[in-house]
Copies of this chain bind each other. A is one copy, B any other.
Amino acid sequence: MAGTQKASPRERLLDAAARLSYRDGVSIGVEALCREAGVSKRSMYQLFDSKDEMLAASLERRVPRYLTLFTHPDPEAASPRERILYVFEQLEKGAADPGYHGCPYLAALVELKDPGHPASVVAREVKEGLEKSFRAEAERGGARDPGLLARQLLLVFDGASARAGARIEHLDDGLATATATALLDAAGVR
């Protein structure tokens, strides 16, 4: 693969952990991870205290990309309502990818079933960040109850990502934006 030659063992491990855990689940073995990264187990344990720490670091590393994905390209020109709906439009676009398996942070939480796991801590922070951002937009948009609206939008976001990732729903007809729109309307965000 282009670029991999120059990446450090640490970067190769983090990329492999992100890729394999997203595709196959967080229970992927250390052997498979090291093989994919082309790094020895010995080197891996010199770089990371544990597989759990490596998994957490791999999720953390992708946060900026994730946040950029959901940030409106022209936030000054867009209204709070448009900035919120942009998140759902992006979700719908992402879900159309054949390799889509849902939101990586929600998937990690569902799979780990352990709020104390270092990767769960990272995932929860990302989700809390998204909720805060929805809440701030809801306040700016004049929502009757911004906290409630933000939590409702997260139900839709995570429900849509989980269902589309599991291939029991498709979002290409705008289901997620339509649902978010109904909730914005109900909350008085025009």
Contact = CB atoms under 8 A, between A and B. Distances in A.
Interface of A: 23-25, 27, 101-102, 106-107, 109-113, 115, 120, 124, 127-128, 148, 151-152, 154-160, 162-163, 165-169, 175-176, 178-179, 182-183, 185-187
A16 to B, nearest CB: 17
A117 B47 CA distance: 36
Contacts of A185: 186
Per DSSP, are chain A's interface residues mostly helix, strand or loop, or mixed?
helix
A167 B111 contact: no
Contacts of A167: 115
Contacts of A165: 110, 113
Contacts of A166: 106, 109-110, 113, 115, 120, 124
The interface centre, meaning the residue of A23, A155, A179 with most chain B CB atoms within 10 A of its CB, is: A155
Contact of A168 (B23, B109, B168, B175): B109
Nearest to A126: B168
9 contacts: A109-B166, A110-B165, A111-B111, A115-B166, A148-B178, A155-B179, A157-B159, A182-B183, A185-B186
